[in-house]
Amino acid sequence: MKKYLLTLTTVLWLCAAFAQNDKYTNAMLPKIALLDSNNSVDEWKSLSNAFERIADAEKTKWEPYYYASFCMVTAGSRAMPTDGSMGDNTKISDPYADKAEQLLDKASALSKDNSEIYCVSKMIHSLRMRGNPMARYMTEGAKASEALEKAKKLNPYNPRVYILEGEDKYYTPEQYGGDKDEAKKLFEKAKDLFSIDKAITPTEPQWGQGLVWYFLSQYK
């Protein structure tokens, strides 16, 4: 009888655990599906807030904090001026970067040495640099490069590493090291890696294919 009760307790515990996991996955997937969309600044912020609420409720999952950070830094990038201004726009960039960094720190505390987390760290440092390129290139620019190299070292098969590297080559003027032909090679590498980049769970990062298609379409 005691053995039966122990077995029944184990089964009930497993059922509860699976149900909780299903609830988490069902909450995450509709939001993850929006990551390759052309969202507005406000939509990215709203999506970040939604992921943060899930993260705070779960407490032990790194992915929702990661996605919340990704969405916030993307919102910041979208909020930046598009006129090529090299002036001081830190009042725009830094609040987004600060919030994104806070969220990413929570993700990192739950998942050490994670290539995906270093990719978003690169994005945050790049956003800070864009806030004042002339003053921050040597500091935030260097930190962005270091984060991307760390991401590549941790997982050289991560397609998002090459998307971010390709974006830098694509948008940087030639006199400062930009090269659109080299960028194309990086986007093509990312495209190839997506064919073998199979997430173990449905909530792991898979974003970026839309960006690859967009950039490669610019060469046609």
pLDDT tens across the length of the chain (220 residues): 544 444 534 443 334 444 456 899 999 999 999 998 888 999 999 999 999 999 999 999 999 999 999 999 999 999 999 887 778 999 999 999 999 999 999 999 999 999 999 999 999 999 999 999 999 999 999 999 999 999 999 999 999 999 999 999 999 999 989 999 999 999 999 999 998 877 788 999 999 999 999 999 999 7
Rounded distance between C-alpha atoms, residue 201 and residue 207, angstroms: 14
Look at residue 47 in the predicted model and tell me its pLDDT.
98
Task: Fill in the amino acid letter for 66.
Answer: Y
Q: Are 141 and 103 in contact (CB under 8 A)?
A: no
- CB neighbour class for 55 (10 Å; exposed up to 12, middle 13-18, buried from 19): buried
Look at residue 84 in the predicted model and tell me its pLDDT.
73
Look at residue 140 in the predicted model and tell me its pLDDT.
98
Look at residue 14 in the predicted model and tell me its pLDDT.
37
Tokens representing 171 are 């948008």
